[in-house]
Structure 1
Amino acid sequence: MRRCLAILVVVLLLAGCSAAREGSEQSGAPPGEVRIGYMPNLTHAQAVLGVAEGTFARHLGVPVRPRLFTSGSAALQALFAGEVDLLYIGPAPALQGYLRSDGDALRVIAGAASGGSVLVLRPDVDRDDLRGTRLATPGIGNSQDAALRYLLMQEGWRTRERGGDVTVSPMAPAEILTLFSRGELDGAWVAEPWGSRLIAEAGGVLAIDERELWPDGTVPTTLVAVRPGFLSEQPEAVRRFLEAHVSLTREIQADPDGSRERVRQALAELQGRPLSDLVMADAWARVDFTFDPMADAVAELADRAFRAGLLGASRPDLTSLYDLTLLQEVAP
């Protein structure tokens, strides 16, 4: 009898704890932690610094659990699985995630970077004739992949899956560097610092700085997205995160040289080795950091991705892609 009463007491206590947790969530209590996804690239510099220097954790007032990815496609899958709350992501995978989920998977709440996306070729490859070449991007449907496929379409070159002779293979940036160094790839469209590394470490030649392909040079490279559920349940946490993101962006804009060295040191911790001064300087010069959501440029990119066959059979409706309410409050 005593044993049954003891079990009953434990059950009631556990039920009470569960109810208390549910009540605190509904009342908007702070989260126990915030999960932030990003890539170890220059184009994700605010995330790199925000995690490495503790800026996010200080603003949020709770622990931050970082999650590193090598491609936007992998980051998107983690978002679908509910494994991250906030995510630095390229516009192409953000668009795909939004459309594939009928707008349920994410909301874009800020921009992060423009530029820093390049096509690097071997010296013996003709930029004006890519027929028969072996090219690589960091992932199928990611922003660099979309840019490359749109270029091929514009120039009249077809990929092998469309009956042509241009091979486009998805692979991690480190693998791209290795295969390019061995002569097993003719070129790659990648984000910085990988483009500058292909040039400095593997003898590549800069064929295209993607900014040259856009009317005003504003090519959206990195956006900040949030799970809608997290946004609705934890608006104060999202606000504090945006305060950190805007603060980091302004620091980079105000002190580009000092910020470049801070990012260089943080990337060395993530990648196991520091980037050379030459690579870092060249790569950094190709990126513009911003919190502007670049909505017009993203709409143009969506149109290009659609024409390249990456966004389905219907023109995308981006009506609910953005929720900029908190950004406008943080950075009016």
Structure 2
Amino acid sequence: MKKFVYLAVLGSLLMVLSACGSSESGASGNGEGSSEGSSDEITIGYFPNINHVAGMVAEEQEMYSKQLPDGTTVNYQYFPDGSAFMTAVETGEIEGGIVGPGPAMNHYVSGAKINIVAAGSKGGTVIMAGNDSGISSPKDLKGKTFISPRVGCTHDVQFEAMMKDEFGITSDRVQGEMKHVTGKPATYASMFKAGKVDAATVPEPWASKIEAEGNGKVLVDTPEVAYGETLPAAVFVTSKDLKEENPEMIQNLVDAHQQATDFINENPEEAKTIAQDKIKEITDQELSAEVIDSAWERIDFSTDVDESVLQDFANSSYDLEFLKEKPDLTGLVDKSFLEK
């Protein structure tokens, strides 16, 4: 079984989102491309969660390998959080892959030479409360403790933007009324039960798992969360330098990603099985068919990227003081590979 690169440090098999390597990176592919004899090796990264099913399908079906030139070895790494993923892209540790839009935008406005070349999915963020939290409405969150995968991650911004814009409630990060802590989504159920947190901004499939096992309740479902149905929950990112140096490789990767996304929409039951098996393989956590089905209902798998939504989301990050300067995302998205 492939393991996360950070397991040796964390000593845990719990999956995290934001979210979102392997010392035994899996190589796959028989190489059905056009350049025979190539010995190139590339690495694709993604997170083992439902928003990243395109990565799982592409790996399981060897879609990247089939699009790339003959002889190309394709490895895969699974990341603990978006920051680690973006660092891997910037340093050339990976050639590209799927990550939340928050880390991609944050690194871009900080000067990272990266591009979003496709989306992966939309939706999948759910606001939940512990059964014994005494919370029945978002208004009750004043003075309460909430958890997100990481400070400033996609799910964190969605939650805090909703709370500020609709209820005028902010976190202690900006001298507000809610206490904010971070942690792995797979631990949220136990933290609810232990009374360590009152609420959580939860990515799928963990929201459906908590709900199915009765360990928490849905406070705000995906459509009502800020940017819940319009913001890409996952985007395909690569480095601008690699895109300029080897556009054919990026075209091959985007083609494979599009193929995987089409497969998900055309073969949902098979894609669900792949996701269920892959998450268990990577994380040692088995999700029931009920949980997978529920999570699937909250997600739309699409490669289309709406640049204006990304800019609006980035503006929210600035308004919440996650970003020091007002962001300009001009040049971040390159949709040319989707249009060929």
Q: 2: distance between equivalents of 1:271 and 1:325?
A: 35
Q: 2: distance between equivalents of 1:89 and 1:215?
A: 17
State which of 128, 131, 141 in structure 2 corresponds to 1:130.
141
Give 2:74's aligned amino acid. Answer: V
Contact kept, 8 Å, 1:30 with 1:234, in 2: the verdict is no
Q: 2: distance between equivalents of 1:142 and 1:33?
A: 30
Give 1:147's aligned amino acid. Answer: Q
Deviation at 1:212, TM superposition (A): 2.4
SS of corresponding position for 1:65: strand
Deviation at 1:215, TM superposition (A): 7.9
State which of 50, 57, 64 in structure 2 corresponds to 1:56.
64
1:13-54 CA-to-partner distances (Å, cap 9, x unmatched) read xxxxxxxxxxxxxxxx96721121110010000011212332
* Aligned residue pairs, count: 298
Residue of structure 2 equivalent to 1:99:
109
State which of 218, 223, 227 in structure 1 corresponds to 2:239.
227
SS of corresponding position for 1:73: helix
Residue of structure 2 equivalent to 1:4:
none
Contact kept, 8 Å, 2:117 with 2:333, in 1: the verdict is yes
SS of corresponding position for 1:66: strand
Residue of structure 2 equivalent to 1:119:
127
Q: 2: distance between equivalents of 1:163 and 1:209?
A: 27
Q: 1: distance between equivalents of 2:227 and 2:285?
A: 37
Note the 1:1-332 alignment, pairs <5 A.
Answer: 32-61=40-69, 62-101=72-111, 104-123=112-131, 124-127=134-137, 128-154=139-165, 155-201=167-213, 203-213=215-225, 217-314=229-326, 316-329=327-340
1:163–1:214 CA distance, 2 compared to 1 (3 A): closer
Contact kept, 8 Å, 1:36 with 1:86, in 2: the verdict is yes
Deviation at 1:278, TM superposition (A): 1.5
Give 1:247's aligned amino acid. Answer: Q
Q: 1: distance between equivalents of 2:281 and 2:213?
A: 20
- Give 5+ residue unaligned stretches, structure 2: 1-36
SS of corresponding position for 1:180: helix
1:136–1:48 CA distance, 2 compared to 1 (3 A): same
Contact kept, 8 Å, 1:181 with 1:202, in 2: the verdict is no
- Give 5+ residue unaligned stretches, structure 1: 1-28
Q: 2: distance between equivalents of 1:301 and 1:290?
A: 18
Residue of structure 1 equivalent to 2:20:
none
1:234-268 CA-to-partner distances (Å, cap 9, x unmatched) read 21111111111111111111122232222212222
Which of 126-135 and 42-51 deviates more?
A: 126-135
CA-atom RMSD in angstroms: 2.0
1:190–1:73 CA distance, 2 compared to 1 (3 A): farther
Give 2:237's aligned amino acid. Answer: A
Contact kept, 8 Å, 1:107 with 1:228, in 2: the verdict is yes
Q: 2: distance between equivalents of 1:191 and 1:254?
A: 24
Contact kept, 8 Å, 1:31 with 1:234, in 2: the verdict is no
1:80–1:177 CA distance, 2 compared to 1 (3 A): farther
Q: What fraction of aligned residue pairs are identical, expressed as a percent?
A: 26
Deviation at 1:192, TM superposition (A): 0.7
Contact kept, 8 Å, 2:125 with 2:204, in 1: the verdict is yes
Q: 2: distance between equivalents of 1:109 and 1:211?
A: 25
Deviation at 1:165, TM superposition (A): 3.4
Q: Going by fraction, where is helix more abundant, 1 or 2?
A: 1
Deviation at 1:202, TM superposition (A): 5.0
Contact kept, 8 Å, 2:147 with 2:199, in 1: the verdict is yes
Q: 2: distance between equivalents of 1:105 and 1:53?
A: 30
Contact kept, 8 Å, 1:70 with 1:173, in 2: the verdict is no
Give 2:303's aligned amino acid. Answer: F
Q: 2: distance between equivalents of 1:201 and 1:54?
A: 34
Q: 2: distance between equivalents of 1:209 and 1:249?
A: 24
Q: Give the TM-score normalised by structure 2.
A: 0.82
1:103-149 CA-to-partner distances (Å, cap 9, x unmatched) read x4310100110001111111332322201211111111110011122
